[in-house]
Amino acid sequence: MKDTVSQKAIKIDANLWQELENWLGTNQAQKLGYHSKAQFTTEAVRDLLNYSKNVGKVNTTTKKLEKKVENKTLNMLKQMDKRLQKIEKR
């Protein structure tokens, strides 16, 4: 049984189409292994979608870390304040 790939057509700006066509004829495109507009576009969109998913995860992780640092800092400040109050009472 042979795997088949289903493709759909999309419309892109004519200038972008021409730029992509010109770029695909360069050594750089060939060295990177690109041979068609469909291949390049599919990989570019897939990479962008994966990047977008990962950015969301990174942002969530960063926010969690920031909250932890904030909480630890507040706790340290509270402890220092208590120590200062004890010293002042002496």
- Ordered by start, the domain boundaries in the chain are 35-89
For residue 63 the two structure tokens come to 């926010």
> Of 24 and 58, which is predicted with more confidence?
24
**Which is more confident, 20 or 75?**
20
Q: Are 24 and 35 in contact (CB under 8 A)?
A: yes
pLDDT at residue 75 in the model: 82
Full-model pTM:
0.54
Percent of the chain beyond pLDDT 70?
94
Q: Indicate whether 90 pLDDT > 70.
A: yes
| Distance in angstroms (rounded) separating the CA atoms of residues 88 and 18 | 76
